[in-house]
Chain A
Amino acid sequence: MSAIGDRRVDPGLSRNRPHGNVGVLRIAVVVLFLVLGARLVQMQLVDGADYAERSDLNRIIVESVSPTRGLIFDRNGQPLVQNSGSFTALITPGFLPDDPGSRYRLYLYLEDLLGIPALQIEEAVTAAEERGQRDLPLPIARALDRETALMLEQVAADLPGVTLSVEPRRVYPGGPEFSHILGYVGPQSPDEWRVLQEDGYAYNEVVGKVGVEARYEAALRGTPGTSITEVDAQGELITTIERTDPEGGRGILLSIDSDLQRYVYELLINTMGEATTAAAVVMSPVTGEIYAIVSVPTYDNNIFSLPDPAEEYQALLDDPRIPLLHQALSPIAPGSTFKIITAAAALQEGNVTRYTRRDVDSSVLEFIGEDGQPYYFYDWRVHGDIDLVEAISWSSNIYFYMASCGIPQEGIAGLGSNTEQSAIVLGYYARSFGLGQVTGLDIASTESPGVIPSPEWKRRVRSGPLFNPEDRDWYLADTCFMGIGQGDVTATPLQIAVATAAIANGGYLLEPYVTRQILGSDGTLLSTTEPSRERVPVDEEHLAVIRQGMRQSVIDGAARLAALPDTLVAGKTGTAEFVDPEDGETKDRAWFTGFAPYHNPQVVVTVFYDLGVGGTKAAPTAADIMGYFLENVEP
């Protein structure tokens, strides 16, 4: 008989008859399993796909295997950079415990270990999460010492979300004189990351920021490998699913001679005197390769691999001499060095020949301006009756005023049919010699084009509430001052060197470069930089006249101090006047640009000091550099 039957037969007659409320148990069973069932439906059927994805993420780790960054050598194979290890503590916010209390305890633990305040870590993590970078490893402490790194590595397995990475660190053993060339590497800015992640960069991977490091980032970085691995809960490797090895970065062989670079740097420092900044360029007039390019003051690029370079960086930014600025790539009035370009223009245009003589019998030239008033141009001495070669040699201002703007009331023709036209013609030649535009030197830096003014340029930049209407007009004086490299003309020492090279090599404008060869990661030669050159629109016979003038200047002209005992040097001094904004006094900037040997130019040297006289300050320095070069450097 069934249980149900039993119940029907004798309902509750016996004292022992169970009368309990058993139905409640059935309800409890059904209700509790319905709760579990509903939760299962939600987890497995509704959200199942999400969980499946998380399950995959749990175990498949796709990692980029960073390649070894390429090395940089000088022209003789001297290494200018080394790779060394740098330990960084990383936090991946997405792997941290969800519970704020546990998180904070983890931060406190890291505070003990790393000395980074827990609050600071918390802020950094929160900020990263707000940026939506939950899954990116966030560097929280860089350049850990080896002991701390080892301790962190031991505990990292038990700290969810915390990892230790060994990042390559760049060490620049050459000294600060190479900083402006090499630049440095640093962490990516958020903007850089947006671009670079497309190229497969890891978020915490460093990139070249300036200099050769930045310009040749793609070559130096190499090709990252990938590793796809399956790991267990402890992060232990189970299997490697796929692995492609990284390809090391390319090596770069510079055209820079490190000994020469150091020599020039020290020479400039020792000869600066009152000057605060100085620059020098040593380049080949044959290929355009740079043997040395020095900027004073400089900075130590090793500070950028410090854990927190902010303080040192701020000190650099606060320095009024702007050490981060490459002086050889910064434009300033070229002064009389510009006369070689004026001379080239005048010879090619035909308003002056080798033998055109002007009698500079006074150091003052009076002329009647556009307003009918007399104006005065000054020369630095009475040159007497001189021709073009002598004018270059002695750097006569009045001769080059006449050659550029002409003196209308004396019937002396300028470069063009009128004042404005003369300026436009001169501007054309200046640009042909590479001025007013960046040279394209393969250093990622703030190279400025400088200014080659023109009537149109003046109208444009002198507009606005700060200027009077007559400030926009182009005057005779504008053309004249332009002819001697003053007024609004600015050029960088590198541009002057390139222009000098074009005169020295018979009319070829070269594209300067510091990278001579690209090497494979195993040191094999991959490519050699092909010199790139362009003909300047000046005939060789005219350039020969200018070279002769420059040679004469060293023999018995303004550049006598550039002479060397065994080598024929040619050069042009420059002494650019400027008004010191601090004391209102008129002061000089010292320039020299020249080449040697005279008959077979192998080297162009351009020297600049922000204070001094070209003939006495820049010329002897250039001579020392040329002497050192010809003796020690294999072109």
Chain B
Amino acid sequence: MSRFGVEGSLRAWDRFDAILALTALALVGYGLVLIYSGSLGSYDGPTASLENPVVRQGLFALIAIGAMFIISRFDYHVLLHYAWWLYGASILLLLVLIPIGQTDFGSTRWFALGPIQFQPSEFAKIATILLLARFLSEQGGDARDLRVLGGSLAITAPVLLLVFIQPDLGTTIIFAAIWLGMVVVAGIQRRHMLFFGAVFLAVLPFLWTFTVADYQIERISVLFDAEEDPLDAGYNPIQSQIAVGSGQLLGKGLTNGEQTQLDFLKVKTKDFIFSVLGEELGFVGAMALFALFILLLMRGIRAAQIAGDIPGQLIAAGIVITILMQAYINIAVNLSIFPVTGLPLPFVSQGGSSLLTLFLGLGIIQSIVMRHRAYRQF
């Protein structure tokens, strides 16, 4: 029996976490409904068209689900084996992005591959999680040692900095959270935690000036061209607050939200899709979304819990943290308790590359769940 084989995978389908997959599908379905409502004002072409954002998103979802199944068939140790290569490729892509990437709203985050936008930082998340999992597990899955901790930080810091200079504050925070979450799971010592907390507080003023200056530049440019920047402006937080708040308990009904339909909300199928939900489906609709997310995340944590080995546990934890933080920051932006950063709501927001990455992540989790028995035996 090869360590990296797929033997016993037929048996392993029994352990496929259907609840996790169905919850993710439910979130995608929820997203399709909201994308439909949010794009009524901007899309008036035929229903069955690749131009229709709902159709596009549905198509991407099918591809992404297919990818999830394929990935789940592979042993995640294959990915671990290539973790350094994947990581190196991410760094390279992020570096290449600096001169040739697409600059939108003053931030360079994308490659344009024909009609598809490819965001290297999405790919870098998975690669970083894999490498951190491999590195920490090779050190005995133990982050108590300061050298191990330093090594993990050395792995995270380059990607984090490359994302930070794009600038992409949201993704930077995600990387920080991935690192922190994974070393916590790997058992960081409390005094080390305090040390890093102190360092963080020390650099916070610098971070703050940097990001606030960026934020204001965008806000000012928005002043003179409201169309230019949907990502960042005093305008969007106000409009999203009004949208969410005015939804009240039950919402105004799907496709009936004035803020949404009269275009007061910007990027409403992407960054501000939660505001559409808040306005049209109200508190009840938001609670339903929260329930789906909590269920999904708890299933992910279960995967970490039952993982057959340390790298499996750390990978699952890293993916859970990514989804959790991305959802949290996106919703927090919609609720005006976090500055506008331009992160999509996982599974829900329109966007192919985000969807693909997320289902790849779920595929890896499935792979971990399906093999937890097998690795338990070694």
Contacts and interface: CB of A to CB of B under 8 A. Distances in A.
A18 to B, nearest CB: 4
B223 A160 contact: yes
Interface in B172-231: 181, 184-187, 216, 219-220, 223-226
* Chain B binding surface, main DSSP class: helix
A109 interface: yes
B187 A19 contact: yes
Interface in A1-21: 3, 6-7, 14-21
A25 B304 CA distance: 10
Interface string A431-470: 0000000000000000000000000000000000000000
Interface stretch (A93-101, A130-138, A208-216): A93-101
Nearest to A54: B242
B348 to A, nearest CB: 14
Q: Which of B223, B246, B247, B264 has the most CB of A within 10 A?
A: B246
A412 interface: no
A310 interface: no
Nearest to A21: B185
Given A25-B321, A51-B246, A102 B234 contact: yes
Interface string B123-141: 0000000000000000011
Contacts of B328: 32-33, 35-36
A587 interface: no
B4 interface: no
Nearest to A56: B258
Interface in B311-330: 312-314, 317, 320-321, 324, 328
Given A20-B317, A44-B278, A26 B337 contact: no
A40 B264 contact: no
B244 A51 contact: yes
Contacts of B307: 18
A29 B328 CA distance: 9
Categorize the interface residue count of chain B.
Answer: 35 or more
Interface stretch (A83-91, A232-240, A285-293): A232-240
Nearest to A28: B324
Contact of A44 (B225, B249, B314): B249
A47 B310 contact: no
Interface residues of A, number: 59
B99 to A, nearest CB: 31
Given A232-B262, A234-B263, A99 B234 contact: yes
B245 A44 contact: yes
A52 B248 contact: yes
B235 interface: yes
A122 to B, nearest CB: 16
Contacts of B320: 25
Contacts of A26: 298, 301
A41 B225 CA distance: 34
Given A3-B305, A59-B258, A18 B234 contact: no
A16 B185 contact: no
B43 interface: no
Interface string B229-272: 00000110011011111111100000000110011110000000
A158 B223 contact: yes
A482 B226 CA distance: 77
A273 interface: no
Given A20-B185, A233-B263, A159 B258 contact: no
Contacts of B248: 44-45, 48-49, 51-52
B94 interface: no
B96 interface: no
B34 to A, nearest CB: 16
B375 interface: yes
A43 B262 contact: no
A22 B223 contact: no
A52 B287 CA distance: 19
A16 B245 contact: no
Given A16-B308, A25-B317, A25-B320, A109 B224 contact: yes
Given A48-B247, A158-B225, A159-B224, A18 B309 contact: yes
A231 interface: yes
A231 B305 contact: no
B286 interface: yes
Contacts of B146: none
B249 A45 contact: yes
B317 to A, nearest CB: 6
A105 B223 contact: yes
A230 B263 CA distance: 12
A197 interface: no
Nearest to A47: B245
Contacts of A477: none
A245 to B, nearest CB: 26
B302 interface: yes
Given A19-B187, A59-B258, A160-B223, A43 B314 contact: no
B282 interface: yes
B244 A44 contact: yes
B74 interface: no
Contact of A233 (B239, B286, B287, B305): B239
B294 interface: yes
Nearest to B278: A44
Nearest to A18: B313
Given A25-B321, A33-B294, A51 B283 contact: no
A59 B301 CA distance: 45
B247 A44 contact: yes
Given A55-B242, A59-B264, A36 B314 contact: no
Contact of B310 (A16, A28, A54): A16
A3 B331 contact: no
A44 B282 contact: yes
A109 B225 CA distance: 13
A523 to B, nearest CB: 43
A40 B247 CA distance: 10
Nearest to B320: A25
B185 A25 contact: yes
A124 to B, nearest CB: 19
Contacts of B258: 55-56, 58-59
Contacts of B313: 18, 20, 22
Contact of A20 (B187, B264, B321): B187
Contact of B378 (A7, A16, A30, A54): A16
B293 interface: yes
B234 A44 contact: no
Given A20-B186, A59-B264, A52 B245 contact: yes
B245 A51 contact: yes
Interface in B58-80: none
Given A25-B321, A36-B332, A44-B247, A102 B219 contact: yes
A579 interface: no
B11 interface: no
Nearest to B188: A21
B283 A41 contact: yes
B376 interface: yes
A45 B220 CA distance: 33
Contacts of A102: 216, 219-220, 223, 234
* Most B Cβ at <10 Å: residue of A15, A22, A109, A155: A22
Contacts of A40: 244, 278, 283, 286-287, 335
Interface centre among A20, A32, A102, A155 (most CB of B within 10 A): A20
14 contacts: A6-B306, A21-B187, A22-B305, A24-B185, A28-B321, A29-B297, A36-B335, A40-B244, A48-B249, A55-B258, A58-B242, A98-B234, A233-B226, A233-B264
Interface of A: 3, 6-7, 14-22, 24-26, 28-30, 32-33, 35-37, 39-41, 43-45, 47-52, 54-56, 58-59, 97-99, 101-102, 105-106, 109, 155, 157-160, 230-234, 238
Given A25-B304, A25-B321, A49-B248, 20 more contacts: A16-B309, A19-B310, A22-B185, A29-B297, A33-B290, A35-B328, A35-B332, A35-B337, A43-B244, A44-B245, A51-B248, A52-B245, A54-B242, A56-B258, A59-B264, A98-B234, A99-B219, A99-B234, A158-B225, A233-B264
